[in-house]
Every structure is written in C-alpha cells, then in structure tokens.
Amino acid sequence: MLEFVTMALYSLLLACVLALGAPYWLWRAARGGPGWASGLLARLGRVPGELREAVEGRKVVWVHAVSVGEVLAATRLVAELEHALGDEWSIVVSTTTATGQALAIKRFAGVDREGSARVFYYPLDFAMAVRAYLRALRPRMLILMESELWPRMLAQGRWAGIPVVVANARVSDRSFARGMRVRPVWSRLLRQVTLFLAQSEEDARRLIAMGAAAEAVRAVGNLKYDAAEPRQSEIARWLGGMQRVIIVAGSTLEGEEEMALIAWEAVLSSKLSPLLVLAPRHPERFRGVEELLAGGKWAKYSGYIRASDCGPERKGNGHFDFVLLDTIGDLAAVYGVADVAFVGGSLVPRGGHNPLEPARFGVPVVTGPSYENFRDIVGKMQEAGGIRIVRKGAELKTAFQDLLSNGEGAKAMGGRGRKVFEEQQGATARTMEALRKIIGKGNRLGAEKMQSHEVRS
C-alpha cells in the first residue's frame, strides 16, 4: 500500500512538472520541425515502428545512455554484447539528450542490419510510456549507464521480472549528499536494482551507504578506460596535417573559452604560432562562442574557422588562429593531434570531464580544480604525474607556456598519463563477465509477463 501511494504521488509530481513545462516543449517542437516533434511523441510512449521491426523475433537487451559521455562509455560494451550474444539478440540503445541521440546513431548505425532503427529516445517516466516500451521490446535485461535511475522504470522492471543493471555506476559528491539526506526513500529505489557495477571502490562504498544491498554492488572499474578507438574523423586528419602546434580546449563550459583564449594569447610570445581548437560541451553554445571569436579583442588576430566548414570540399585554406569544433563525435579523435589538451567543465564548478580521452594518446592533460565527476581517474593520474591541475585561468596560461616550451617534459607527462590509461583497462571484460552470469536469470518470468501484458500500473 505504501509503495502504491508513493508511486501515485511521484506520478502526480511528474505530471505537474510536465504540465508546467508543456509550453516550452510545444515551442521547441514547433521550432524543431517534424523530427523534434516525433522525438517528443516517442518520449510520451509512441514506440517507433522501425524499432518494433528491428526487434521482431529477437531477444532484446536495452541499454540506456543519457548523453554523449554515457554513449562513449557504452560503445565498446554494446559491441561486446553483440559479439557475445549473437544474431538471435538485438541490443537497443536509448538516450535522453539530442546530442546523445545523434552520437548514438553515428556509433551504432551499421553495426547490424537494423542500423539506426535501434536507437531511440528514452520515455518519460510515466506508467503508460514505460509500459509501452517494455511491452514492445520485452527486454531480457535493462542496462542503465552510470547514474540514471527512474522510479517508475525500476518498479515496472521489478514487477516484470526484468534484471536491471547499472553499469559504470558512479556517485558524485552532490548526488551522495542528496542521497544521504533522503536515505529512507532513496534506499528503496536502490534496492530495486539487480546489480550495480561501480567505477571504483569509493563509488561502491557510497552506494552501500545510501542503501543499496551490499551483495548487489561490485567495483569493476571505469568503462571509459576501455573506450573504443575514436571513429575516423576528417576534421582530425585535416588538423593533423597542418604541421602547427595545436592546443585543444575540450568540453568547455561558459567562461572557459575566454580563459583558454587568454592562455593561448600568452603563448604567442614563444613564437610557436599555436592553433587553438575550442570544443564547447553543448551545441547550443556554438553560436555564442563563434560570436566571441568574431568580435572584441579576438577579432584582431587571424580569424577562425568552423570545423563544419572543413570537409572535403572546403579545407579551410588560409591562415587562422582558432578552430570552433562545432561537430558532434569528433573531439575524441581531435585530442589525438593535440600538443596539449585542456579538459573543460573544471575551471567552473561543474565536476569536470574525462581526462582519459586525451591521455590515451599520450597528450599532456591540464584540468581545473573541479573534477569531482572523475575523482578516481584524476587521482590515479596525479599519483603518476600524468596530469596538471590549475586552480584558475591565470595558472592555465602558465601551464600552456610550460608544456609547449618544454617538449621533453610534456612528452614524459603525456606518457605517464597514457600508462595510467593502459593499466586501468579491463572494466569491460569484468562487466561482461557479470552480465553473462545474470542475463539468463529471471528472464523466463519476465518474458512471460511482458507477453501477457501483466505489467502493473
């Protein structure tokens, strides 16, 4: 009875949030065209016909990857699942954000005959929408990447007998503080998960402290250590052929582009004529960063070019000092041609982004003091001397100057970072071992319930 009341209150709260946000959603649908509108309908429970056809007659594993970072972490795992399970199975992938959807289509289209049909938007957490997808897919397992837990989906999965695994599970400082404040409620949610495969021992400890069953938590390592090789990138090849010193500022947030530009300007005195590549984290900020490069004090330099203009037809002839990386999915490969990389989201209090993306190439990595989301990774790299932490924008200037003026030191630092990357690999194999052990358990009951539509509201 208590669970029924709790879920009813949760659904009412979610409905209120949706109602309040309805004008915005309708406005976005009107501006975004038919594709955006169909995405909204899919979130509300209208299962795409192409998705139904893609899974027809197959056993299904559903992987949910919220956005770009989770899609990158899931890429090799999906490939391993495809290889291990064979043609009788279909691995479908959902995302929450449009950028995650775009990257997932690029990563997973063409892996099997369904192509992009198996990539779709995750439904809103209403009983009707969730049930529609569970009935259409009848998944034998639901794999949630990192930290995406929705009460209705977890409840429906449990009632249907579907194992739910949180892969690459992590708990940020903020999430841990919030979870401990509402532990009596949060622990009920956590105990509906079949297995947590945590990124680190610290993440595992936090999950148990928040109420997860100790026997359902296992530390297996970070899947991002095992990220698949970056896809082939025309942009990366073009940049690599310039024979210029390249600084890449990746996954930057508002304010960090200005700091990177100031640090780049300070390096000019070294007569290296470096090229600065700016890769904003969110596509909606591309226009604002372009305006920054085109106006004010930065307009006096040799100009900028957008990466989207640098395809086979337009190679970006002429001299310029800045490249705006306004494409999706190229950053990982672009890091590979950098002489030094700054990983953004870290000079502003947003928890940072993954320093392994440049470190895997032996590129010296600089990050700010806000790296809570990757505390374990940064800690290992600090211990090895494979990363440089700067506390403010002024220190970013010094870091760029030091690394670009001391080639041997920068190379050694990059090598130490790459060694950390190589030593920590293996999380995918450990994750696959755990998934293989449970993928057949409880599925018969789940499949029977889904077939007969015995999914509770």
d(CA 247, CA 244): 10
Regarding whether 355 and 240 lie in a shared domain, the answer is yes
Pull the structure tokens for residue 312.
């086979």
Regarding whether 246 and 131 lie in a shared domain, the answer is no
44 within domain boundaries? no
Which of 56-70, 223-237, 437-451 is predicted least confidently? 437-451
d(CA 155, CA 134): 12
Pull the structure tokens for residue 15.
């409905």
Regarding whether 431 and 413 lie in a shared domain, the answer is no
Regarding whether 194 and 63 lie in a shared domain, the answer is yes
What are φ and ψ of residue 233, in 5° steps? -130, 120
- The residue type of 198 is A
Which residue bears the tokens 């043609």? 87
Q: In the annotation, is 408 catalytic?
A: no
Average of per-residue pLDDT across 155-175: 92
Is a pLDDT exceeding 80 seen at residue 415? Answer: yes
Regarding whether 372 and 252 lie in a shared domain, the answer is yes
78 within domain boundaries? yes
Pull the structure tokens for residue 160.
């249907």
How far out from the chain centre does Cα 241 lie?
Answer: 29
pTM of the prediction? 0.77
Q: Is 158 exposed, middle or buried (0-12, 13-18, 19+ CB in 10 A)?
A: middle
Regarding whether 248 and 134 lie in a shared domain, the answer is no
**Domain of residue 395, CATH code:** 3.40.50.2000
Pull the structure tokens for residue 132.
């529609």
d(CA 164, CA 157): 7
Regarding whether 348 and 274 lie in a shared domain, the answer is yes
Regarding whether 275 and 177 lie in a shared domain, the answer is no
Question: How would DSSP label each residue in 275-290?
Answer: EEEEEESSGGGHHHHH
Pull the structure tokens for residue 380.
């290992």
Pull the structure tokens for residue 53.
């056809």
Regarding whether 404 and 306 lie in a shared domain, the answer is yes
Beta partners for residue 143, in sequence order:
63, 165
d(CA 402, CA 270): 10
Residue 247 is part of which domain span? 234-423
SS3 55: helix
Instruction: Report pLDDT digits (tens) over 268-313.
Output: 876 778 999 999 999 999 999 999 999 889 999 989 999 998 755 5
Count of domains observed in the chain: 2
pLDDT score at 65: 95
Pull the structure tokens for residue 340.
């030094």
Pull the structure tokens for residue 82.
């495809």
Contacts of 90 (CB under 8 A, 6+ apart): 54, 55, 58, 59, 60, 61, 112, 114, 118
386 contacts 410 by C-beta, under 8 angstroms: no
Regarding whether 402 and 321 lie in a shared domain, the answer is yes
330 contacts 346 by C-beta, under 8 angstroms: no
pLDDT score at 7: 64
How far out from the chain centre does Cα 269 lie?
Answer: 37
Instruction: Report pLDDT digits (tens) over 97-121.
Output: 888 898 899 888 754 445 578 999 9
Instruction: Report pLDDT digits (tens) over 69-94.
Output: 899 889 999 999 999 999 899 999 99
51 within domain boundaries? no
**DSSP one-letter code for 349:** T
Position with higher pLDDT, 4 vs 326:
326
Rg of the chain over CA atoms, in angstroms? 23
d(CA 388, CA 299): 30
b/e sequence 175-206, b meaning 16+ C-beta within 10 Å: bbeebeeeeeebebbbebbbbbbbbbebbbbb
Distance (Å) of CA 14 to CA 10, 18, 22, 127, 245? 6, 6, 12, 11, 50
Regarding whether 203 and 62 lie in a shared domain, the answer is yes
**Domain of residue 157, CATH code:** 3.40.50.11720
Q: Which member of 50, 53, 56, 70 is catalytic?
A: 70
**DSSP one-letter code for 454:** -
188 within domain boundaries? yes
